[in-house]
Structure 1
Amino acid sequence: MRRPPLPALLGLGLLATALTGTAAATTIYECTTADGRVIYQDTPCSAGQQQRTMQVADAPAAPRPPSPPAPASAPRPAAPPPTRAPSVPSAPLPLMYTCVRATDGKSYLSDNGNPPPYQAPYGVLGAGQLPLSEVYGPDRGGAGIAAPEANRGRVSSGLVANNYVWVQDQCRELDVEETCQALQDAYDENEHKLGNAFKSQRPPLEKREAQLQTQLANCGD
C-alpha cells in the first residue's frame, strides 16, 4: 500500500492548524478503505476502515506585528501666571512745606520751601502802633522843642501805616508722616468739593483726585 509523501502530510497538518486555530500538534487519522485506498483526515476513520493515527506538528504561528508606539502626549501648556487685582499706581511723595505768613503769623501748606518776598504795609507788622516819639527818637515831637521845629518834616501815624516794606514767609519741610497727613486732608477736602460740584465743575476735581490717590499709595495703610 502506497502512502502520501511527506509534503502532503505537512499540508494536512497546516490544514488542521487552519481549521483548529491552535498552535499544538494535530492528530491525523490514516484510514485504509476496503479497496486498499489510503485516506488522511482529521476525524476518526469510518466503520470497516483500518485506522492509524499520527501527530503532525503545526507550523509556528506568524508573529504578530509590533503594536505602534503610543503617540507621545503633547506637553501641557504652562499655566498662566495668576492675575493680580488692579491697584492704584504709586507716585513719589511730593515735597511739602509748612510756612508761617509774615504778616499775620498764620500757617499754610506749600510746595515751595523758599517763597518769594513780597511787600506788606508797614503798619500791618505792628510798627505803626508805637508812639511816634519811640519810633523816631526823642528828637521828634518831644517836649522842649519849638513848635515850628516839631512840625517841620513831622511823620504822621497814617504815613507810617501805609508805607510798604519787604517781608518773606518762613517755611520748613514736612516729614513723611506729616506729608501723608497733609495729602489725606487735601484728598478729603477734594472729595467734599467733588460731591457738591456740578457736572461742568467735576473734571479738574477728578484730575486732582487721581493725582492725590497716586501720591497716597506710598503712604501705606
Structure 2
Amino acid sequence: MIRPCRLLLSALLALLATASVHAGEVTIYRCTDAKGQLALRDTPCRAGEKQEARTMVRPTDPPPRAIPAPAPAAKESYGPAPRYVVVTPPQPLYECITPDGERYTSDTSEGHVRWEESWMFGYPALPRRGGGGGVSATMDARSGNVSGSVRIGDSNHFRRPVLVPAIPYGQYLYDECNRLPQAEVCGRLRDERHELNRRWNIAQPSERADIDRETRGIDARLANDCGES
C-alpha cells in the first residue's frame, strides 16, 4: 500500500504543476474504497469511500523574468582627428657671375647660357687642302678670319689670294653659379621686396599689376622659406 500511495502522490503533484496558474486555494480529496485502495483527487470521493479532505495553496508560476536590455555598445573614442601638415623645403637661390664679373641671382644652378665660338679657345677650323687644286688657308686665332689662296688645276697662273670666313664651330656655356646659404637667401628676398615696393610707388598704373604679382610671390616665399608673415 505504500507504493501505490507514492504513485498517487506523484501524480497529484504533477497534476498540481500543470493546473491553472490562477492564485487561490485548492482542495485535495483522499479516498479509500472498501478494498483499502487509496486514491487522491481534486473532486469529492464516491459514495461508500472513506474521504479525507485537505486544503492546499494552488501552485502558481513565478513571474516571468525580465529580460535585461542589452547594454549600449561603448562608443570608441578616437580623440581629435589628426592634422597633416605638409612642409615644403626651402627653395634654393643661386648667385651667378658673368664673364664680365656681373653678379645676379637665379633659381637654378645653370645661370644664363651663352654661345662661344671655338676660335676663342685656340681651336682653328682650317679648310682642307686639295692635291692638284683646291684651297689652302691659314687662320688668325685671335680674329677668327681665314686667309689663303685658291688654285685651279696645276697652273700657278690662276692663283689669287682670297678671304675665307671661319667655320662657326663652338659650344654653349653657362655662367658659374653658387648656392647661397638660407640666411642669405632670406636677406636677398627682403631686399627684392623692398625694391619692388619702391618701384610700385613710382610706377605707372599699368605697371603696378605686374609688380603686385611679383610681390605676392616674394611674400609667399618669405613665409614658407623664412617663416615671415
Instruction: Sort the TM-score into its range (normalised by shorter chain).
Output: 0.3 to 0.5
Give the TM-score normalised by the residue count of structure 1: 0.40
Query: If each structure's helix is expressed as a fraction of its own residues, which one has the higher value?
Result: 1
Higher RCO (C-alpha 8 Å, min separation 6) = 1
Give the TM-score normalised by the residue count of structure 2: 0.39
Query: If each structure's strand is expressed as a fraction of its own residues, which one has the higher value?
Result: 2
